[in-house]
Structure formats: C-alpha cells, structure tokens
Amino acid sequence: MSCSSPVAARRASLLLLPLLLCAGALGFLPHCCHAAGAVEAPGYVTVSAASFKPGSTCSAPDPVAPQRNGTSAVLRLTHRHGPCAPSRTSSLAAPSVADTLRADQRRAEYILRRVSGAGAQQLLGSKAAAATVPANWGYDIGTLNYVVTASLGTPGVAQTLEVDTGSDLSWVQCKPCSAPACYNQKDPLFDPAQSSSYAAVPCGGSACAGLGMYESSCVSSAQCGYVVRYGDGSSTTGVYSSDTLTLTSTDAVQGFLFGCGRAQSGLFTGIDGLLGLGRLQPSLVGQTAGTYGGAFSYCLPTKPSTTGYLALGGASGAAPAGFSTTQLLSSPSAPTYYIVMLTGISVGGQPLSVPASAFAGGTVVDTGTVVTRLPPAAYAALRSAFRSSMASYSYPAAPPTGILDTCYNFAGYGAVTLPTVALTFSSGATLTLGADGILSFGCLAFAASGSDGGMAILGNVQQRSFEVRIDGASVGFKPNSC
C-alpha cells in the first residue's frame, strides 16, 4: 500500500523531503512508511520513534574500545540495570524523571556557583601505557550517570562505582557501617579488615596533606579524615585510605588512595561508591599519571541496552585520527573541572545568532550533569529555532518536564524527524548530535542557567556515543564510538 499524510505533504513541499509520519494512535493513519528513495533534507535526521525507548535486549554484549598505542585492557561498560548489566547489579527501582531532573538541577547550580566570576579572563589555557575499564549508565542511582566495576583490596572485592569527571576523590562504603550512616547497596560493604593490602592514611603525612579541600579532622587512631560534599546535596565522610585497585585482569594500581566511607547521605542508593576523574591529584587520573600519562577517554552509551568504555592512557601528544579537538582551559576558582570554550550552535544546519560574549565564561565538560546548560541568550535562540523547525511537522506538544520546557508527544508515530543540533568549540571542534543527544524524556535536552557570559555545562546526554578524550592540553571528540 502507499502511505500519505497531510503533515508529510506540507513538509515535503517545504523541504523536498517526502517523509510520511505514522500517527495511527492519533487517528490519522493505521500504518506508515517512507517513500521509496526518499532523500533526507540537509540539516534534518529521521529516526524510528522506537529508538527513544530503553530497549529490553542487550545489543552489544562484548564491546571493545579502540586499541591504540599500548591500550592494554578493555572492560565491559553497561547500564547498571539494563539488559547488558551483570546479574550482581542492584535491582532498586529507578527514580522518576522529576526526581532525576531535580537532582540534576542541584548539581548544575553547584557547578555554576563554584565557577561564578570566572569569566574569560580567568580561564587559563592550560608516552604512556593505558588501561580501559567498564562504565555503566547508572540511571537508577538518581542522577542518570554512569558506573564502572573494578576490584578493591587483596583479595579483590568487586565494587560498582559512579564515574564523575566533576569530582576528584574516589570512595566506597566501608565496614563497620550501618543504616542510616550507610545506605543500602546490592554488594557487601568493603571490609578493610579482610584486605591484606589495606592501610589507613595517617594524619600529618603528605598523602593527608594532599587532600586539600577534601581534608577533614583526624579520626580515631590519628587516621586522616576526608569529607566530600556534592552539588546535588549528597555527601560522604570517613577515613582516607590506601589499597590495591584492580582495573582489569592485567592492570592494578598499587597503593591507590581513596575514601573509606563511614557516613553517606543523599542520592547514592544502589552504587558502592564513586570513581573521581577530576583534574586534581587525588583523582584516579592524577594518581596514575606516571603510569598512564594523565590522558583518558570515555564513551557513554546511548541507552541501557548498549555499552561504552572508560580508558586510561593512550597516545601522547596529538589526539589519534578521527578526533575533533579543542583547547583545554582551567578556572582558578574551580580547578577540578575540565573546561572548553563553546563558540556557536547551529540548528538544522543554520548557525544561530548568539553574541560571542554569551559564551565567554567557558563550558564545563561533565559526566555527572544530565542535560546541557546554556547561557540564557544561547538557550533562547536554540529553543526558538528548534520549535520553529518542529512546528512544520505538527507534532503534539507535551507539558514541560521539570527544567525541560520544550516537550513533544510522539505516541503513535513510527518515525520522528528532528533538525540536527551542532555545538562548535574553539579551534572548530564540532559535535553534531544524534537524536539521543537532542531529545531526552521526549523533550529538548537543554536548559538555560546562569547568565550570559557565565559558565555553560556540557551534560552527559550530549556526550553519548562520542569518544571524549581528555589530556593535559585538549579535549577531543570522536563520533559513533560506542
């Protein structure tokens, strides 16, 4: 049979795109198909509406990160509760979309407060082995972030850890600890008494002094205390410690410094701890710089039914082929963060008219923030152009979802056409986003925050499927990497 639709016909006349929308659930058509030989209009992408659903079958059971220049180990990275996840992961229910976005807003506000006043004049420009460890999309922990599994101690005990480029100190929950000081987790608490390589860091030593802003008062037996407070209101405190962290069967970090958590609060339910990948010395990246060169990369999977990876090390110097790179900057008021300079946005292939001054505060690349935050002028221009493009298809509007104010109801549609969205950074590095990087929860996955000229945040929704490579001088992006 042939398919036709007044909506599709009107759009075809505007864009020479013979797209036919399926709207059976809305009473328009019982079936839908694309015309044979249909050619997609430049600046638009058409995807199956089903592609926005999480998926119930693991489509990538054995992912392998790119092997280059000494990469020595690859670990499987999965959504913690998706079909690719190991059976040992938590079975706790996922938070609501509203709860997820509320937590995300708290984190974004915290980051923006940390870097407030760090305008452009305060942003400073700023040969190794490698190991690749698994990262999972941890939707169920309350922040839609990603987790890896590594082993801690001797003998090693598997730990499922949230990966965070926006924090430095790594930690796990440790015995002795009981509710409410420690939250419920699927795995047993790490027991320092059962590890032959464990040691508490003493007060007054160089390791304790190296904690900087994370140092707390000494605890019993003159042990070094730590405390970390996160942007979403969560916190952890306990004993700063060292032990063997095993990343893969052939890669272990001896004497890895981490927090042995004795009191946690907030949104950590369901994970065993956190793996900090920030820029300061206490992070995994800082502690292993002598082995892996201070470079790392990651690829965040697009949905729970696909997988990604986290790789420590790799080629030194210039990024490998296929990467689009931009300069890495830093903020004296927030040295943990990886910062780049966003310079422009395009929708449907057309650049938006946004003053360069709106982007002057720089952009934090953060795995812990869900949706990208833009200065108000940039977000207003993006929203206006996106809504205008979507109006041609007459998709039904849906109510706002939390901080997301441009939402649609695609129920009954077999295919959805979106204008492409591309983010351009200094030196011309460009992220042309896929559908999963444009929409989340049925809404445009961007929000306004801060002020024009203030800091923006590149969230994890927009980073999905790109390999993001970070070294001491640059940030690189490679599309379609997981």
Q: Which residues are catalytic?
A: 164, 366
Q: Alpha helix (H) ranges present in 82-220?
A: 97-114, 206-209
Residues 6+ positions from 454 with CB-CB distance below 8 Å: 112, 116, 361, 375
Q: For the CA atoms of 429, 101, 308, 330, what is the dihedral angle to 10 degrees?
A: 40
Give first-to-last CA distance, the chain, whole Å. 37
Q: For the CA atoms of 424, 429, 433, 439, what is the dihedral angle to 10 degrees?
A: -50
Sheet holding 342-347, edge to edge: 350-351, 342-347, 421-425, 430-432
Q: Give the Cα separation of 369 and 458 in Å (integer).
A: 8
Q: Give the Cα separation of 150 and 145 in Å (integer).
A: 17
Q: Give the Cα separation of 422 and 385 in Å (integer).
A: 13
Look up tokens 């946005």; give the residue: 345
**Within 10 A of 139 (CB to CB), how many other CB atoms are there?**
22
260: its two tokens: 């042995």
DSSP letters, 30-42, are S---PPTT--PPT
CB 300 within 8 A of CB 308: yes
CB 40 within 8 A of CB 435: no
Q: Give the Cα separation of 194 and 188 in Å (integer).
A: 12
Q: Give the Cα separation of 127 and 475 in Å (integer).
A: 18
Eight-class DSSP state of 69: T
Q: Give the Cα separation of 253 and 259 in Å (integer).
A: 15
Q: Give the Cα separation of 39 and 19 in Å (integer).
A: 9
Single-letter amino acid code for the residue at 467: E
Residue whose C-alpha is closest to residue 371's, from 146, 104, 147:
104
Residues 6+ positions from 231 with CB-CB distance below 8 Å: 106, 107, 108, 109, 110, 111, 114, 166, 368
| H or E segment to which residue 17 belongs | none
Look up tokens 């079958």; give the residue: 57
| H or E segment to which residue 407 belongs | strand 407-408
